Chain A
Amino acid sequence: MIVVDLSAFLVLSAFLFSCGIACIATKRNAIGILIGVELVLNAANLNFVAAARYLPSFRLEGQIFAIMVIVMAAAEAAVALAIFLNFYHTHTTIDVESASDLQG
């Protein structure tokens, strides 16, 4: 019997977080890693909003934090994609295994 309270949302956001970690660990494409980071950030956001809903004194702060996390995620995605495009222009591939110029 599923009772929808805070722990249900916390379990769901933990699941999203671990999917994000798995995505970061298993993609060789750099944009795949970015997708994993987006999943992690969404899991954290879901945590904030669920906590805001079930703890009424936190309702304003939860939404404000979530808005700030959304904005920061957008900024970080923009920078990451700019870096990847630069990398692609010089290396003609987006595989992170080939980012070995500083190796050794």
Chain B
Amino acid sequence: MMSFETVMFVILATLTGGSSVAVVLSRQMVRAAVWLLITLIGVSGLYFYLGAEFLGATQLIVYVGGTLVLVVFGVMLTEPGKTERVTVGPTGWCLAGFLSASMFFLLVLVMLNSGKSSSPAVDKATEWPGVGPIGLAFLGLPQSPNQPGYLLPFELISVHLLVVLIGAAYLARAKRKPASEAGGTVVRVEPVPDAGEGESL
């Protein structure tokens, strides 16, 4: 009889795997983004299943609530016309299928042959470091003496994120240029629509 953990894992893994296949197979970009949403929620559920609760919540708030919203905005703002829904031809699909299948088998072979997994009887609830130890490690105050502090990576990714966001905001700024649209079905949305009539009640 399958135990509850196994059933939960099968459900979560099927959800994640199935929606990632649907990402590959869907032709419209917004649908692919929706299937990616379900994949990310499935991965977050797997983090909760594994016991890493803080990481699951971080995945939800950063990936789903931040990155994926950005992706969906990008999809909506760069929407192609109704005629332009071409994907790669059959040769492209064959090549892609061969490539991904070979990567999959290679990875599975490497993973199953290198280090053996430890016993599943490891208790997940008691020793998983929560928010406190993670925060202290990020500030360079390790709990045990032979653990390095992670202050430098933390500062580096903070500065990196700041620089990237400034650069992205500059790159994507609204430019005042004469509109030259190739097709008439493109909807161009300016980042800040101006409402010149004053307050609207």
Contacts of A14 in B (CB 8 A): 103-104, 107-108, 111
Could you say which of A4, A29, A64, A94 contacts B5, with CB atoms under 8 Å apart? A4
Question: A-side binding surface: helix, strand, loop or mixed?
Answer: helix
Interface residues on B, range: 35 or more
Q: A11-B111, A56-B127 are in contact. Are A26 and B62 (CB under 8 A)?
A: no
Whether the Cβ atoms of B78 and A31 lie closer than 8 Å is yes
Shortest distance in angstroms between B114's beta carbon and chain A's nearest beta carbon?
Answer: 10
Q: List 30 A-B contacts (CB under 8 A).
A: A2-B9, A4-B5, A5-B120, A16-B17, A17-B107, A18-B103, A26-B87, A28-B86, A28-B88, A31-B71, A34-B71, A38-B40, A38-B63, A38-B68, A38-B71, A49-B52, A53-B50, A54-B120, A56-B122, A59-B129, A60-B137, A63-B55, A68-B153, A70-B58, A74-B63, A74-B66, A74-B161, A82-B172, A85-B172, A88-B77
Q: Which residue of A lies closest to B174 (CB)?
A: A89
Q: A68-B153, A82-B171 are in contact. Are A32 and B80 (CB under 8 A)?
A: no
Whether the Cβ atoms of B77 and A60 lie closer than 8 Å is no
Contacts of A42 in B (CB 8 A): 39-40, 43, 63
Whether the Cβ atoms of A31 and B29 lie closer than 8 Å is yes
Contacts of A93 in B (CB 8 A): 80, 84, 182
